[in-house]
Each structure stands twice: as structure tokens, then as C-alpha cells.
Amino acid sequence: MKAIVFRNYGPPNVLRVEEVEKPAPEDDEVLVKIHAATVATADCEARSFTFPLWFWLPLRFMFGVLKPRKPIQILGQELAGEIEAVGKGVKDFKKGDQVFAAIRGFGAHAEYKCLPASGPMATMPANMPHEEAVTFTVFALNALHFIRKADLQRGQKILINGAGSSIGTTAVQLAKHYGAEVTAVDSAGKLDMLGSIGATHVIDYAKQDFTKNGVAYDVILDVIGKSSYSRSLKALSPEGRYILANPKALPMLRGQWTNRTSAKKVMFELAGEKPEDLIFLKGLIEAGALKAVIDRRYRMEEIIEAHAYVASGQKKGHVILTIGHDD
């Protein structure tokens, strides 16, 4: 099968389309013929190995010290496709099922991938093609997790910093679905899109500091980890929640103190992808509450261009990798 492989850390041109061995499912696995994947910031970070210092060393041992070890050599965390084969112990899926799934790890940038049948995978929404359904897996599940942690009540104010990201675009729609007043913060080129998916207010971070606009927010969700901790706390209502989706060491430590000494709460618990949450998102999609936000589409042979674009920070929502098959 064809797969996109990188055997050394570095810039986008370390990526190559190569022939690798096609996997076969274990008893508790399914083999998915992949039709669509995403290219995300996490893929670019793994390829170039640009992680925060406090996270760098443990990940280096996990991924490979001198060069990426298998299966990290094939990136991609989100996929949608068709089940081609099932292990003999699998009961909930069958050959021919159209599925979308989150990978606990990597491996979606290939023609085929084996996944545990008990993992975060579900049959696709009836009203979405593969290229759209794939955008509601890993990062949408994270968005759902953070919005649930926010415990939003109808009419409350939420500000989402980094709203044009893979997580942010779903978080905006979920917050709107739950009746919140949504303020979306991102670069100027993304603001029209954010208004179209449900943001009540939009802020260009290059022109306005949301912590100085005099508004008290019930929830601040920082997707990109770049808001000022102290100023963000001041921008919260007396019992507001500050959610760190991309937490760094110092804000996590400061958050422990804030939680002990204030009615305001700082949260940074990471999501655990669950199949029941994917099914929940599927229901919202079929009800028309969520729509895919796709910026660009690339073929496997264009993976270098795809990584360069995602790494530039310009992407709006999701970048799709279409997986072609010779048959």
C-alpha cells in the first residue's frame, strides 16, 4: 500500500510517498480502507519535533531519540473510510461499513489502517461525505470535552482564543448549540468564517486585546495557549472558568493555586477519545447543528505543500488529505 513516511525529523520535504506493507487486522481489529484524513498542526509538530521544552524530552523518548521509530513514521490522527476486513472477534462492525475514527497515535496518512473495534470509531453521519466527516474526530472530540468542562448555561458568555483552529471551529459551533454568546478570537482572515459558523462577536487578535475590552466572560477557552494568564483571569466573571486546551507548565502550576484561593476555576484536563462521544457528535451532525469547516484539500503526492501550509498558521479549520486508491 502507499503511505506518507518520514524517516528523519525536519522540514516538510522529509516526507515521502512510499510503498509499505499493508496491515492485517487482529481478532479485535478492523482494517479500514482510508478515503480521507486531515493534516493538522500536531502532524507538523511531530514531523519537525517542535514541542515545548518541558514536553520535549519524554516525547523524544516516545517518538524516537535520533529519528522517528515505527509507527510514528506515518503521521495522521483522523480518518474516514470503508471497512475492508474485520477480525473474527469483532461484532459491532462489518465489511463495507463507512466509518470515521480518531487514532490514538498516528497512522492515518496511508491507504489502509488497522484500528481496534472498541476504540473511538463510529459509522459515518448519513448526511456527510468522508472528507467532511473526518473533521469531526480527534479535534472535535477535544472540543466537545472542553465545552462540557465549561458547563455552559444558556446566555452565558464564552470567549474562544484560537477559534479558527481544528478544535476551535467545532468549539464555536458547540457553544452556539448550547445557547452561549460566543466571542471568537483569531487572525483577520478567519473572522468572516467564524461569524458564519455561529460566533456572535469576532476579534482580530492583532488589533484588539480581549482582556482589555471591559467584558467579563463566564468562560475563556484558550485553544492555542497564548493568552496572558493573569489578564485572562481578570477578564472572567467572579465564578468564571479558564480552560487551557494547550497547557504549559507554568500556567498549570498557577492554576492549582488559583483553584485553591479563588472562586474562579482553571481547567486543563486533556480529553480521552470515547466512541460514545463520537456517536454523540454524529447525532449533532445529522441534526444539522454542526458543519465541516474545510480550508484546503491535498492529494497524497502534495503532502509537502500541505505541511508547509498548515505550518504557516494560516489554515481555517481543517486541511484535508484525500487518499486515492489505484483500484
CATH number, domain 139-267: 3.40.50.720
Asked if 206 and 225 touch (Cβ cutoff 8 Å), the reply is no
Helices (H), the chain: 41-48, 53-63, 130-133, 138-150, 166-177, 191-196, 229-234, 249-261, 275-286, 303-311
Q: Quick one: fold of 2-137+273-322? A: Quinone Oxidoreductase; Chain A, domain 1 (3.90.180)
Backbone angles phi, psi at 168, to 5 degrees: -60, -40
Helices (H) and strands (E) in the chain, counts: 10, 15
How far is it, in rounded angstroms, from Cα 28 to Cα 279? 20
Backbone angles phi, psi at 15, to 5 degrees: -80, 140
pLDDT values of the chain reduced to their tens digit, one per residue, 327 residues: 999 999 999 999 999 999 999 999 999 999 999 999 999 999 999 999 876 666 666 777 677 877 887 777 999 999 999 999 999 999 999 999 999 999 988 999 999 999 999 999 999 999 999 999 999 999 999 999 999 999 999 999 999 999 999 999 999 999 999 999 999 999 999 999 999 999 999 999 999 999 999 999 999 999 998 889 999 999 999 999 999 998 778 888 898 999 999 999 999 877 888 999 999 999 999 999 999 999 999 999 999 999 999 999 999 999 999 998 876
Buried b (16+ CB within 10 A) or exposed e, 107-135: bbbbbbbbbbbebbbbbbbeebebbbbbb
Q: Would you state the pLDDT for residue 327?
A: 62
Asked if 150 and 241 touch (Cβ cutoff 8 Å), the reply is yes
**Amino acid making up residue 280:** F
How far is it, in rounded angstroms, from Cα 112 to Cα 324? 11
Q: Would you state the pLDDT for residue 57?
A: 66
Any idea what the Cα angle at residue 321 is, between residues 164 and 64, rounded to 5°? 90
How far is it, in rounded angstroms, from Cα 51 to Cα 66? 15
**Amino acid making up residue 72:** I
Listed by start position, the domains of the chain span: 2-137+273-322, 139-267
Q: State the pTM of this model.
A: 0.93
